[in-house]
Chain A
């Protein structure tokens, strides 16, 4: 086909192109600019080459934060995905209770990030928090500001509380799309509950599960607000995840060059992981056909 399409259509795309340029491309270029220069203030810049990148990639601080980040994302996925599936499978299938259930489930999703953090910060406090005070009354030594384990526990529980319903809702939609005939056939075949889950529900949920894993992984990999409000990255650096570390470096220490290099490396890691997920998803999709 050597016929030209309607060129007017390109004008329709222009606003989006401009918007993306202002919101993403230009700031990104600024960061790239910072990452290869050094400054001592007074708007004086010196060429630094890849020095910052080398420093960041080889720094123990970055390695630790990256390790903590993977550990955190891994743990919350291991909890939220199975828990989400479990909740979805036990949600009502018909009747008025569906809507009640859906509203209750979406509540945590509607709360702003910093509010979630504040809720748990107070909830876990040893002096006035319901969780913290009650635990200590029961003789459990719980204090997220002192104990590393308690801090991790609090941050993870908070994320599970905040996001499991998203996984559950996605799985619920997947389950609802399975035709009744499949369950009927399985009952006729004498399949156990586990077999029904393994051979019908799980295969049919695979598509939404992949999306859920992708969303939760990416989101948790970039988590900032909630742990920052609750623990501030502490005790020590115990809950300092990548984004918290980045902010500390950029705003706390005002190391703009290293921080810019940090954020670019961070960005590239996320891009790489997204690409891996995307490839896996499309390959599985092809297998399906």
Chain B
């Protein structure tokens, strides 16, 4: 177990990077705490795999250092870094039994069979694999294979961090729930540092203590799932997290009042903005409400479609050429006549050039 310090780290796949665009991973300087669960979240090509490969030792960064518990490991190859990894597609030793698979890393490290036996039994019990120990790994289902890959990391006492590279890709939805929950329970029990790379927000948010949202090589925000949901620092985070993502509308600002094409909206506080900033208002679909009766600050919208997805409904509305999504709880009525939209002022955020505006010190 270890704390991971990414010191002034950046990477470019080009030999002589000049511009920021040349970098697949822009400079970061961060400490990831020992025993916590982190998720790297972003769409493909955002740099999350580059970062994972730097941590695992597959890639040497073009700039900066990686430190595990203060020890520099930047130049060390994977096998000397004391990490474990679970890959996108299950990697098991087909010809071995489940027991031998789990014992493999310990046998390679020349541990005695008796201690291997107790350790494997312990881990198999945790992963609910005890019944399968004598079976050949080849015949097992994808989720059992993924548990074996994880188990090979868990049997070792010396592992600094366990890395997960989209581990649930090939798992069926109903088993995803079970496996993810078991993973989470294991983390709470073992307190190992875990790093989980994914493009799936549900996986990232439910698994991690801290989610690292990446976009175009930048780390855009690091925070708890709740922070990312309630206070997205960038419109990208707002869009990327949440289904559907945050509604973003261009506004103009005057003290504590925002103007949406002339319609005024009262805000809870005043914001400071620079002239020339591109100002936008962000509000999550969950914090909007449709009503058949107009109110003081309601927007008049046209409901284009109402999608009932079982546990809630999503209304797709049009407000002066812009699409606004509204989430309506299962037990609330809605129809196309509900054309007055109110935004909960406590959950309105203002963004200048994409970044969240800080509120003015209480005026």
Contacts and interface: CB of A to CB of B under 8 A. Distances in A.
On whether A and B touch (CB less than 8 Å), the answer reads yes
B108 A195 contact: yes
Given A195-B108, A288-B138, A188 B85 contact: yes
A124 to B, nearest CB: 43
A190 B85 contact: no
A74 B91 CA distance: 36
Nearest to A180: B58
A185 to B, nearest CB: 4
Contacts of A17: none
B152 A189 contact: yes
B138 A185 contact: no
Contacts of A190: 79, 105, 108-109
Q: Which of A182, A188, A192 is the most central at the interface, judged by chain B CB atoms within 10 Å of its CB?
A: A188
Contacts of A93: none
Given A182-B91, A199-B93, A203-B95, A188 B108 contact: no
Nearest to A203: B95
A192 B89 contact: no
A192 B109 CA distance: 10
Interface in B145-181: 149, 152-153
Contacts of B257: none
B104 A179 contact: no
A276 interface: no
A98 to B, nearest CB: 22
A122 interface: no
Contacts of B108: 189-192, 195
B-side binding surface: helix, strand, loop or mixed? mixed
Contacts of B77: 187
Interface in B46-82: 56, 58, 77-79
A193 to B, nearest CB: 11
A58 interface: no
Interface in B77-125: 77-79, 83-85, 87-89, 91, 93-96, 104-105, 108-109
Interface in B124-149: 138, 149
A43 interface: no
B78 A184 contact: yes
A181 interface: yes
Given A189-B104, A190-B105, A190-B109, A184 B85 contact: yes
For the complex of A and B, 8 pairs with smallest distance between CB atoms: A190-B108, A189-B105, A185-B91, A181-B87, A187-B79, A199-B93, A203-B95, A187-B78
Given A181-B91, A195-B104, 19 more contacts: A179-B89, A179-B91, A181-B89, A184-B56, A184-B87, A185-B91, A187-B77, A188-B78, A188-B84, A188-B85, A188-B105, A190-B105, A190-B109, A191-B108, A192-B108, A199-B96, A199-B104, A200-B93, A203-B94
7 contacts: A179-B89, A185-B149, A188-B78, A188-B153, A189-B108, A200-B93, A288-B138
Interface of A: 179, 181-182, 184-185, 187-192, 195, 199-200, 203, 288
